[in-house]
Amino acid sequence: MGAWSWPGRCWPCCRRWSYSSCCTSSSPEALLWARRNNVPRVLNIAHRGARSLAPENTLAAARKALEVGADLWELDVAVTADEALILFHDDSLARTTDAPARFPHRAPWTFTTFTLAEIRSLDAGSWFVESDPFGEIAAGTVTQAELAAYRGERVPTLREALLFTKEHNYRVNIELKRLPPPMERFPVVDRVLALIDELNAAEHVLFSSFVHDWLRQIQASRPEFEVQALLGYSETQPLDWGNLAFKTYNARHTLVSEEKIRELREKGIALNLWTIDDVDDMQRYITAGAAGLINDLPHKLAVLLQP
């Protein structure tokens, strides 16, 4: 894919992570280091959208990510009982919808056992208003008008998410995940690719997954797509980098040293880190040369990255 750039933003050169001089990060220490080492500006990647400012994996969260200056947003693909592609993270609908109240006898409320119509009838926003999961409501970052609008927010389809991304000339990282029963054998990769093709949205999409075989499949059949290998599913097991078969890795930040970031960069491998929600950690990884920071507070990272 070609380089992405638009007013007020900067995308790393050629999207194949050749570390040529493109643009740089912003704080004095990081800026000096980046200029000396000829690396691009760190990417601000909004985890499940700007989920500290809006309900996660919703179009509201995508809009907020765009509004606060995130370079791209990330989402999780799920599949309903009638094989519709939607955005959802957990196996259960219980945490982020009112499914337990609406369907009290269908515990544990696994999304694969609900139809699209049933899921679309759920309130996927009020939980955010009532729980303030990141304290940003209490901090005054979320307006009363936004809070009122979030009540009744619906679980979006992947089609809606892609249309939003394309309409705004934005970019999205689609995380592909193994599905819970009874949809384990559902051809999620093929269905997602078919939808992207139908909408002519390929240039707006990249893929990430812990299932590296799926990424290899995409690399082999659709080399125009960027793929990013997720690492660190377990908090305690060391990361398995294999033979560094991918150009980009997305790794749990607590399992990666600053020296490892520099080592990979010298080999031409980009490393995005997840999930970075502490401002001091953000600054430290900017200075270390991370390619991108997957985070829940893109408005705070955007301030660090201002020129």
CB-based burial label for 100 (10 Å; 0-12, 13-18, 19+): middle
Please report, for residues 73, 91, 239, 253, 289, the alpha-carbon distance to residue 257 in angstroms, rounded to integers and kept in the order given: 25, 31, 11, 8, 11
Q: Report the alpha-carbon distance of residue 40 to residue 43 in Å, rounded.
A: 9
Long-range contacts of 220-227 (CB under 8 A, 24+ apart): 222/193, 224/1, 226/1, 226/15, 226/16
Task: Output the six-digit token pair for 255.
Answer: 């399992």
Model confidence, pTM: 0.87
pLDDT at residue 36, rounded to an integer: 59
Q: Report the alpha-carbon distance of residue 13 to residue 245 in Å, rounded.
A: 20
Place of tokens 């992207």: 196
CA nearest neighbour of 55 among 174, 168, 156: 156
Long-range contacts of 104-113 (CB under 8 A, 24+ apart): 110/180, 110/181, 111/78, 111/79, 111/80, 111/86, 111/180, 112/78, 112/79, 112/80, 112/81, 112/179, 112/180, 112/181, 112/182, 112/183, 113/81, 113/182
CB-based burial label for 185 (10 Å; 0-12, 13-18, 19+): exposed
Q: Hey, CA dihedral for 237, 243, 244, 245, is it positive or negative?
A: negative
- Which fold does the domain 5-55+63-90+157-304 belong to in CATH? TIM Barrel (3.20.20)
pLDDT in tens, the chain (307 residues): 333 333 233 333 333 332 223 333 334 454 455 545 555 689 999 999 999 999 999 999 999 999 999 999 999 999 999 999 999 999 999 999 999 999 999 999 999 999 999 999 999 999 999 999 999 999 999 999 999 999 999 999 999 999 999 999 999 999 999 999 899 999 999 999 999 999 999 999 999 999 999 999 999 999 999 999 999 998 888 899 989 999 999 999 999 999 999 999 999 999 999 999 999 999 999 999 999 999 999 999 999 998 7
pLDDT at residue 40, rounded to an integer: 65
pLDDT at residue 233, rounded to an integer: 93
Number of Cβ within 10 Å of residue 118's Cβ equals 18
Angle between helix axes 59-68 and 158-167 (nearest 10 degrees) is 20
Residue 97 neighbours by CB under 8 Å, 6+ apart: 119, 122, 123, 124, 127, 155
pLDDT at residue 215, rounded to an integer: 98
Q: Hey, CA dihedral for 105, 107, 109, 114, is it positive or negative?
A: negative
Please report, for residues 20, 37, 40, 165, the alpha-carbon distance to residue 13 in angstroms, rounded to integers and kept in the order given: 7, 15, 8, 21
